[in-house]
Copies of this chain bind each other. A is one copy, B any other.
């Protein structure tokens, strides 16, 4: 049913439509692509492709436009990830080199990705659950409050104030800090609950109340940090596109943190590129967009995801190349830290 040539036609339709943003007709195809057949033949193939739902006509006497299903086939079987140009690689290096701060790495990454793809870029902060505790710091604030700072090996810092304690002695805080660090330094965050399980028992009774408060805040902060931090850039690029849906809907969707998290979270296969096209997206407002996402991490351990949101009519090979390259570079930089 779908011989080589029909696939070639589909590929050509996708490529031309992405370039021109206009329905592509049989003659234009025959002209611009070396298919070696006449427009009439192409027309016949198009009828077949249309019957199978890969392309569609906006109206009777117009050219064809790829459907979501058509893009899907294109991405899965007809295209390959396009490696970046030398200039682009150099841009990445100079953009991400010399960064100190995790915040800065993330901020630059997202801007870089938006610029490379000319679309909206999303970057998720490295997950806490996969990273390990470097150090826990307890700082007395005044007399009845303690600030807890958890520092992880990926450079991320979580702080939290513990409130409403009875008076705390400097000494007690020091002891507790030492004990905490002995228990969980080097520990994966996911393992922290187990690791601190029997701590209260080791604390002298007069300080047990404080210890319990601190631990409960610690555990709580680990749970909460599950709602990950996410950064956006390049929303202005949306203006260049004319969406089927009002793009107010798109902007609204992109402002919802939960939506973004789920959007990236749908990537199934870690260490691979994931593409979600049009109707495949779970969110109403994003039905006319596609999402290209990838994992990044250190070694073969995935820490979080990055991605790009654009119109379904996007340059998939190029976007996929950019996303993959940036993901790799970020991983390298985090590893080097």
Contacts and interface: CB of A to CB of B under 8 A. Distances in A.
Interface of A: 100-101, 134-135, 137, 139, 141, 147, 149, 151, 155, 157, 159-161, 233-236, 238-240, 246-248, 251-252, 255
Contacts of A147: 134-135, 151
6 contacts: A101-B160, A134-B147, A147-B151, A149-B149, A239-B247, A240-B248
Given A141-B134, A147-B151, A255 B239 contact: no
Nearest to A238: B251
A239 B149 CA distance: 40
Contacts of A157: 149, 157, 159
Contacts of A238: 251
Contact of A251 (B134, B137, B161, B239): B239
A137 B137 contact: yes
A157 B159 CA distance: 8
Contact of A248 (B137, B141, B239, B248): B239
Nearest to A161: B100
Contacts of A240: 248
Nearest to A229: B103
Find the residue from A159, A161, A233, A238 having the highest chain B CB count within 10 A: A159
Nearest to A162: B100
Nearest to A102: B159
A231 to B, nearest CB: 11
